[in-house]
Amino acid sequence: MEEALNHPNWSMGAKITIDSASMMNKGLEVIEAHWLFDLPYDKIDVLLHKESIIHSMVEFHDSSVIAQLGTPDMRVPIQYALTYPDRIPLAGRKRLNLAEAGKLHFRDMDFTRYPCLQFAYKAGKMGGTMTTVLNAANEAAVSAFLYGKVTFLEIETLIEKALNQHSVIALPDLETIQEVDIMTRQYIESLVKDR
């Protein structure tokens, strides 16, 4: 657990740090990007970027790319969300120094190494209640990990089991979503209760 919670670039709290280690955070961001920007999933790519300086990139029709760069500090996007459309100074924030950073490194995402990202793409493409199951199963599995009931790699196993046992409901109302969320959490808890 100590190793999984030791993120090299961010201080985000236990749950989000574990989601970062499993790449579930990126999977959830892929689903967000699909809905926020009305993009098909096959137009959303994820790259590994160990420096955590480039937070997003958009490629235009002419092949040019615009990137959003900044220090790995979640206070910046949170503040911007609260003050939009204004950008105000953030006290105590370290400025990005590209000369200090030196180089930026990127790698293609390894879906075998990070199956949670693959689960997110699959759940997103299936739609309906499948994304509710993904999120609820992840939250319950990460909680079980943080309480020492399962190993880190069992998180992905539990999520996969929850996804595989669910029959998707295509156009759920809020009540159905809430019910699926509760049932998924109970399902994960039933798998780890005697540990």
Helices then strands, each counted (H, E), the chain = 8, 4
- Could you give the C-alpha distances from 159 to 59, 111, 193, in angstroms and in order? 32, 15, 16
> Please, what is the Cα angle at 95 between 28 and 3, to 5 degrees?
50
Q: What is the pLDDT of residues 41-97, one digit of tens each?
A: 999 999 999 899 998 899 999 999 999 999 888 888 889 899 999 999 988 878 899
What pLDDT was estimated at residue 115?
Answer: 98
DSSP 62-84: TS-EEEEE--S-THHHHHHHHHT
Helices (H), ranges, 23-173: 24-37, 75-83, 98-101, 115-126, 130-146, 152-165
173: phi > 0 → left, psi -120 to 50 → alpha, else beta; which? beta
C-alpha 159/C-alpha 135 separation (Å) is 9
What pLDDT was estimated at residue 97?
Answer: 93
What pLDDT was estimated at residue 181?
Answer: 98
pLDDT-above-70 percentage for the chain = 97
- Could you give the C-alpha distances from 10 to 14, 34, 148, in angstroms and in order? 11, 25, 23
Higher pLDDT, 3 or 187: 187
C-alpha 164/C-alpha 181 separation (Å) is 15
- Does domain 1-43+111-195 fall into CATH 1.10.1740.10? yes
- pLDDT at 11 exceeding the cut of 70: no
What pLDDT was estimated at residue 76?
Answer: 86
What pLDDT was estimated at residue 175?
Answer: 98
- pLDDT at 145 exceeding the cut of 80: yes
Q: What are the residue ranges spanned by the domains of the chain?
A: 1-43+111-195, 47-108
What pLDDT was estimated at residue 74?
Answer: 80
Is the CB of residue 67 less than 8 Å from the CB of residue 54? yes
For the whole prediction, is pTM greater than 0.85? yes
